[in-house]
Structures are given as structure tokens and as C-alpha cells.
Structure 1
């Protein structure tokens, strides 16, 4: 069997909003590689967009998961425990910041807005690891999604830059702490692309145009291309790859 096959593996995908989501691109590739999947949706408003996608990938579980709501993330993992009793990988692809804080200077962001952004976008990944750890009895893979604005200042990325920087640091620390149990923790860093989450960033079309112009390959990446790399990271082919930030951005990150 190919080391990149996910046949027999069970995975949870958190963060599909619609068919333009990075999480959807990843879920499609996980499914194509043979994984059994569980999928969450944000709320009842989002469910009509996510449920048909879950059917397309034969998801065995579909449930609500707003990490701001007490008990919902735990409920997802309880359902996974009841269905499978184990888990091989989780994709965490969620982020949020209040609009007023996201559109303003970092210097001007509110305490509450900063706390909300950090809780949803970063601390929720820690909570995912807490719930996933006992289910990953034979090791596993935790994967989150970041952006180059964590490393360098990107115009209009604003508050999400420091928040994603924290997420990348959390990735490294959790990789160190969970490594002895065979649990790998990685972050995938795509170039800018049009998603529902990205639409909240001011002048995002300009950011995408700059990225395509600057990247050595002069193109934007697709959610399917991101999914291909995500598939590698959760597969046995990446069994000794952990603690890294992995760029899928047509080379955008290497150009000064």
C-alpha cells in the first residue's frame, strides 16, 4: 500500500463553510485517499452548505461545532468516540476576529476582540489536541492552517498576524509534548485565496493580486492543491514530519 494512502484511517475535519473552504479542499483529498471522515459545521445557518458536501465524501458523522459555544467541541469528540473509539487525524481550519478589530490597527485592537480572536483561532487548536490525544492510541496527526502574515507584516492582515503567530508557536510546543506518543502536529500555510474567512479582510483582492505577482510561479494555489499537501502531512508518508509550518503558496514566502 502507498505510504500516502489513508485507507483504514479515521479523520475529523473542522472548518468547512462551503465548497470554497480550504477545509473542503482537504476533505476531498482525504476521502479520495481512502479515509473515513467526520465533519462539523458552524451552526444551523451553515448546515445547508456543509451537509451536501459531507454527503459527497460519505462522512459518517456530521455535527455542529462553534468553539465559542460551551460543550460543542467536546460534543463532536464524544460523537467520534461513540462512532469509532479512536482517531487518526484532525484538520483544524477555523479562524475569527471581530470586524472592528480586524479592520483596524493592531495598536488599536480591543482587549475583548484580541481575546476572541485568540480563543477561536488559536486556543481552540489546543482544545482539539486535548480531546484528540486519548483517541490517538497508536499515534496520529493534528493539522492546522496558518498564513505568512504570522511571520512577516502583510498589509491589511492586521490582528490575525499576531494570532496566527501564536498558532504556529502552539504547533511547535504541542509537537514537542506529544511526540513521544507518536502524535504529530503541523501547520500548513497556503498563499492567499478566496475563502469565506478571507472575505472579512479588507482589500483581500489586492492581497491576492500582489501574491500572484510576487510568487515565483506567478499563480495562486487552489484548495485541491492545499488538500494534496494536507493529505501527505496526515499520511504515514510524513510519519517523521512534525512541528513544522509547511508553505503551499507557489513560492510566495521566499521572495523579499
Structure 2
């Protein structure tokens, strides 16, 4: 009997089955990293988790029940080295890496950019951008020849969004490093480096940024479809970039913003603003 063709996409299409992916940055079930890991697992990949601290490991024990978790605070080089040593000692080959790590300290809330302190800026660069370089250097001998590395950026690093504080220049540094990592790794491998540059997302981390919620609601008005980008949409793109199906994509930032960038001058938004001015 002939069966009707299924309209459901086959996760086998991604070719992720039996590939091993290290996922860094899961905080809770709303995290982009967690959503990526779920898709990877559904596709048959083996997922290893790197978490920031023992307390984070304990808080994720129920969510990631039975999963392999390694503690690694990327602000501490010795812990990055220990992560690499453990993976090497267990004979694990890494086919993919998810770098979904970002941190910025706003002790007094969002302040004008020119008031950013040296300590704030350098700490954010270290954790959010340099950590990708350091981790990849430490793991270079454990990567398979065609491993795919994916980090999480933002949809634009050129817009001076006050609600994001000083993080846009940090993310710009992160995304700029993709080309240089791809080039330097090309001397001995075909390891690829890409970013998913996400629009505004509803995550626990973003909810803690002063003023972010208002920006998120504004984004929903500007996006042509009238609906914000979902974490799963970003995760789906990351899973594709991690897969062999994206083998021709390297040193790129793939924007996932549901076309927000083309619609800042939406007539309804303009009318709402000008109406307020008249009042």
C-alpha cells in the first residue's frame, strides 16, 4: 500500500545523527542554548553540556536529567583548559560547538555608553567574545575535521539601542572574530565558524535588562508579520548551521529577525508616533 507523503520535515535531513555537540550557555528551559540542544537531541545527536558553575549544574539537574554536564566558567582560563583535558581524556571528538554565552554588568542600570567603565567593558568582552576564541583554541585537537561552531549574536550591531547598553560593540567583536577563526583554523582543518544574529527574544536573561521589555514590544510592532522572533526559530537556524547540510556556509552571521530591519518606517508605527507629537 502506498503511503501518503508526510509534510513533516525529517530531522534526519540535517545529518546530525551520532554527531557530538558541546553546548555552552544553558541557564534554564527558556535559554537559546537549551532550545538548540533539544533539536539536536531529536535529530539523534549526542549533546554534552558545559555550565558555568556547580550551582548552575545543580539547578539544571532536573531539566537535564541524565545528561553529561561539565562545569566551566569561561572567565577562568584554568577551567577552560580543564574542560578540554576532560574531553580529551574521555576520547570525545567534538563535531559541533554551541557558544551561547554573554554577560554584562549593569550595577546602576543602563547608563550612557560613554560612561561605560573599563572594568565593565573588558569583562563583557572577555566572557561574551574572547571566550569563543579561548574555548576553540583549547579544543582544537578535539574538533573533528569538519566541525561546525555556532555562536549567538544580535540582529544588528550598528543600531545604538539604549536598552542593550554597551553590549552591541561586544557582539560586534564576537561576530568579527568569526572570519579570523575560520581563516586560522583553515590551516589545518575545515572547521567552520558562524553566528545566528537574533532579533529581540523573550528569555530570562533579556528580561533582566532594564528597558528591554519595552524594546521587545516595539519590535513586535515593527516586524511585518506582527509577531516577535521566537527562540525556537533561532534554535532551528543554529541546528542547520551545526549540520553538514550547511557545509558551504562559513564566517557568516545569519540574521533571524523576521524582517524587522526592513520595516522601521512602518506607516502604522509612524502614525502612532506623530499622533503623540500632535497631542
After alignment, is 151-160 or 109-118 more displaced?
151-160
Q: What secondary structure, in the 3-state scheme, does the structure 1 residue paired with 2:258 have?
A: coil
Q: Which has the higher contact order (CA 8 A, sep 6+)?
A: 1
Q: What secondary structure, in the 3-state scheme, does the structure 1 residue paired with 2:195 have?
A: strand
- The aligned counterpart of 1:225 is 233
Q: Distance in 2 between matches of 1:80 and 1:175?
A: 22
After alignment, is 95-104 or 138-147 more displaced?
95-104
Unmatched 5+ stretches in structure 1:
none
CA shift digits 1:108-163 (9 cap, x unpaired): 01111111000000000101210232112422111101113423222311210110
Q: Distance in 2 between matches of 1:62 and 1:139?
A: 24
CA contact (8 A) 1:212 1:220 kept: yes
- The aligned counterpart of 2:260 is 252
- The aligned counterpart of 1:131 is 138
Q: What secondary structure, in the 3-state scheme, does the structure 1 residue paired with 2:93 have?
A: coil
Aligned: 1:207 with 2:215 = yes
- The aligned counterpart of 1:185 is 193
Unmatched 5+ stretches in structure 2:
1-10, 265-279
Q: Distance in 1 between matches of 2:181 and 2:108?
A: 28
CA contact (8 A) 2:155 2:257 kept: no
CA contact (8 A) 2:202 2:230 kept: no
Deviation, structure 1 residue 54 = 2.3
- The 3 A distance-change label for structure 1 pair 41 and 207 is same
RMSD: 1.9
- The aligned counterpart of 2:129 is 122
Q: Distance in 2 between matches of 1:12 and 1:137?
A: 12
Task: Tell which structure's C-alpha radius of gyration is larger.
Answer: 2
Q: How is 1:58-73 mapped onto 2 (pairs within 5 angstroms)?
A: 59=67, 61-73=68-80
Deviation, structure 1 residue 232 = 0.5
Runs (4+) of structure 1 exceeding 3 A deviation are: none
Q: What secondary structure, in the 3-state scheme, does the structure 2 residue paired with 1:45 have?
A: helix
Residue 95 (structure 1) aligned to one of 95, 102, 121? 102
User: Under a length normalisation based on structure 2, what TM-score does the superposition of the two structures give?
Assistant: 0.85
Q: Distance in 2 between matches of 1:69 and 1:51?
A: 23
Q: How many residues align?
A: 253
Q: How is 1:142-161 mapped onto 2 (pairs within 5 angstroms)?
A: 142-161=149-168
Q: Distance in 1 between matches of 2:170 and 2:116?
A: 12
